[in-house]
Amino acid sequence: MEKTIILYLLLALSFQVCSQSHQKEKLSRSTPGEKTIFQTANPWKPVTDTRADVAIVYSVKEHHEKGSLTFEQRVQTWRDKGYKTHFMTGIAWGEYQDYFTGKWDGKKHFDEGQVTQKGDTIWHGRMVPYIVPSMNFIKYLKEEVIRRVIDAGIDAIYLEEPEFWARAGYSAAFKKEWKEYYGFDWRPQHESPENTYLSNKLKYHLYYRAVNECFTFAKAYGKTKGMNIRCYVPTHSLVNYSQWMIVSPEASLASLPCVDGYIAQVWTGTSREPNFFNGQKKERVFETAFLEYGSMESMTSPTGRKMFFLTDPIEDWPRDWADYKKNYEATFTAQLLYPMIADYEVMPWPDRIYEGLYRTSAENDKKERIPRFYSTQMQVMINTLNNMPLSENKVSGSQGIGILMGNSLMFQRFPVHNGYEDPQLSNFYGQALPLLKRGVPVKTIHIENVSVAKTWSDVKILIMSYSNMKPMDKAAHDHIAEWVKNGGALIYCGKDDDAFQSVQEWWNTGANTFKTPSAHLFIKLGLKEPFSAGEYTCGKGKVYIMRNDPKEFIMKEKNDSTFVNAVKRLYEAGRDQAKLELKNHFRLTRGPYELIAVIDENSDQSPFTIKGKFIDLFDPEIPILDEKQVQPGAQAFLYNISNVKNPGTPQVLATAARVYEEKAMKNGYSFVAKSPLNTTNVMRILLPEKVKSIEVTDADGNVVQAKTSWDESSKTCFLSFENNPDGIHVKLGW
């Protein structure tokens, strides 16, 4: 155990030093011309020309689905169309058949797959197991993948989804890594909580090591060629990995100098995972997405790392187009409610979005490609991301309530020990949903970040529990206790009776003899045993102990009022004596954009109404509205025409294409619009006067049929025509 304790102390120290360094440099991780990205394994095609800034070309392997082109040839097809090109591949799985079959080094490596207790390998695809990342496999990635990518002139590499399944840990390769890491023979994780904790720590370490080795090599090799290689980790949120029972390094990767940032892989597929609230288990896509994006934002905001937010207009699981549309709006709104993130992966896999066949309705099996109304709406949405501004505005509602989370959330999910269960991650959601469902924009705080001063900015109340996670570094308690004593309010929820309270860790080894990690924290706060439920004064701050596991607040109907009332009382007793605002909606203004989400399962079932002069960006006709009503369970995305910068200048306000070569003249305005073939463009163009002449032509000068109308109240011209990636030339005169 001493070895693991030392490791995590070193990780914590490395993280703190790295974070402080980033703060001093005041890094802006945004790179000019790399605000919007997408990923594809295929060469450029006119039907998938999304017009984002960057095409991330996936995989170095060649096969028929990529048109039999080499990796370098696929990259060049995108460069020829004006894209910057990056590279992505999986680090836990991928098209590495040459490694597993022995073609690379003469030895078969199928024994390096992740294996369950039953002896089954967990597969990601044919001949593609989830991998136990041995040093030999890491060597393969360096020599066969990373070196080739850099030789092709790629200066940004994404190694996605460092994932080790919690139910795995029984392969010969894992047993070998165990012996090398711990110094004693492997122990089956199902036999005790101690073994489970050791197993998951090792899984965590193996992918931390793999990412560090690969990216350190990439940066060093790039330097030999005069290149500055940037390295990113596309990863699911800690919320999702914990719920899906997957172990990954997550927040600790931000401590590595070789990691430049992340992609937050949040989409309908992750956010529709059911959770409990008010005794009912069901999908809550908007709320789950809000918490997922929040956990990614709070993971990196104190460290200065770059973060791309991802949404997907469809998902991995086959559904119908109406289902995709509804949930895309929910996740898209959730991501935009984080105004200090303004870099986006606009979509993964455009080929399956534009060319895939999905059901036309939930009631029948008829399938078709993406309907025109949905592709138009989607393109309006993704083209707003090219201009989405950073904003210091806050989401409406009472600010300053944080929920503590940590990477060890992933360690306790599987298997169940001593009968203690946490269905659907309810010990986490039990701290969040009672507030989020009442219109309180809770934030998450990573225990790995508590040593960084910026983590505590504007935090008034910290809600925490050790029912589903454990502190891997005792120093975290020093920082939490200091914050409380300086005036913070801490709410601790937990019976502290789960099986993992007694695993051999820092709180019960060496000079420490605490039965639970919370006992160590309470002593730091100046409390005395038996640490009973109740409210305590600690310096200038308060501690409120609730001897309930958070899951109790949501798994039973109408069982969260005591918790909510405790939050309300402590919040309103704060220095500023602000009232805790309970409502049924969230609203944020970002430049000209208005974002609204109305919560269902709330005692207030009234719609939210906003008045003004708006373009409805969730409507493929992009109509002008004087009023918008948003019903419970729905969201709205509006362009507020009254917030236009330079309203006297002709400009495109909303469009399902990307606009280039704008020219404003005394009595005219022209531009070129580009977007994928077989899609319809709609545009709302602000002009000083009603348009008198309209010319719409293709790249060869041929006239293109267009629909047009004028709205006098907004001084906007509506224009619609068929898109073309080669460009449609528009010239307006008045």
Task: Dump pLDDT digits (tens) for 505-528.
Answer: 999 999 999 999 999 999 999 999
Nearest Cα residue to 430 out of 468, 483, 478: 468
Summarize the chain as % helix, strand, coil (round to 5): 35, 25, 40
Q: Taking 70 as the threshold, does the pLDDT of residue 7 lie above it?
A: no
Q: Are 625 and 634 in contact (CB under 8 A)?
A: no
E strand or H helix that includes residue 215: helix 193-224
Backbone angles phi, psi at 694, to 5 degrees: -135, 125
Q: Which two tokens stand for residue 230?
A: 């940037």
Q: Taking 70 as the threshold, does the pLDDT of residue 347 lie above it?
A: yes
The predicted-structure confidence for 555-588, as pLDDT tens digits, reads as follows 999 999 999 999 999 999 988 889 999 999 999 9
Percent of the chain with pLDDT over 70: 95
For residue 242, with 0-12 CB atoms within 10 Å meaning exposed, 13-18 middle and 19 or more buried, which class applies?
Answer: buried
Report the mean per-residue pLDDT for the chain.
94
Q: Taking 90 as the threshold, does the pLDDT of residue 5 lie above it?
A: no
Task: Tell me which architecture the domain covering 401-572 has in CATH.
Answer: 3-Layer(aba) Sandwich (3.40)
Higher local confidence (pLDDT), 29 or 211:
211
Q: Taking 70 as the threshold, does the pLDDT of residue 156 lie above it?
A: yes
Q: Are 263 and 233 in contact (CB under 8 A)?
A: yes
Task: Please list, in sequence order, all residues whose beta carbon lies within 8 angstroms of the beta carbon of residue 336, skipping any fewer than 6 positions away.
Answer: 388, 588, 590, 593, 595, 637
Average pLDDT over residues 192-199: 97
Q: Taking 90 as the threshold, does the pLDDT of residue 327 lie above it?
A: yes
Maximum CA pair distance of the chain?
84
CA distance 620 to 642: 21
The predicted-structure confidence for 634-691, as pLDDT tens digits, reads as follows 999 999 999 999 999 999 999 999 999 999 999 999 999 999 999 999 999 999 999 9
Q: Are 604 and 583 in contact (CB under 8 A)?
A: yes
What is the model's pLDDT at position 577? 84
Task: Please list, in sequence order, all residues whose beta carbon lies within 8 angstroms of the beta carbon of residue 569, skipping any fewer than 6 positions away.
Answer: none
CA distance 115 to 604: 49
CA distance 228 to 219: 7
Q: At what angle do helices 285-300 and 321-336 cross, to 10 degrees?
A: 40
Q: Residue 33: count other Cβ atoms within 10 Å of its Cβ.
A: 9
CA separation, residue 475 to residues 202, 516, 642, 695 (Å): 21, 15, 50, 67
Q: How confident is the model at residue 27 (pLDDT cuts 50, 70, 90)?
A: very low
Residues of the chain with CATH 2.60.220.10: 651-733
Q: Taking 90 as the threshold, does the pLDDT of residue 593 lie above it?
A: yes
Q: Are 372 and 380 in contact (CB under 8 A)?
A: no
Q: Which two tokens stand for residue 162?
A: 């460092």
For residue 253, with 0-12 CB atoms within 10 Å meaning exposed, 13-18 middle and 19 or more buried, which class applies?
Answer: buried
Average pLDDT over residues 695-703: 97
Residues of the chain with CATH 3.40.50: 401-572
Fold of 651-733: Chondroitinase Ac; Chain A, domain 3 (2.60.220)
What is the model's pLDDT at position 67? 62
CA distance 355 to 360: 14
The predicted-structure confidence for 101-116, as pLDDT tens digits, reads as follows 999 999 999 999 999 9
Q: Residue 464: count other Cβ atoms within 10 Å of its Cβ.
A: 24
CA distance 84 to 69: 19
Q: What is the DSSP letter of 52?
A: -
CA distance 626 to 399: 30
CA separation, residue 335 to residues 54, 55, 267 (Å): 20, 21, 10
**Overall residue count recorded for the chain in this entry:** 734
Task: Please list, in sequence order, all residues whose beta carbon lies within 8 angstroms of the beta carbon of residue 602, skipping any fewer than 6 positions away.
Answer: 437, 438, 439, 584, 632
Q: Provide the whole-model pTM.
A: 0.95
What is the model's pLDDT at position 30? 57
CA distance 580 to 597: 19
Place of tokens 């169940």: 416
Percent of the chain with pLDDT over 90: 92
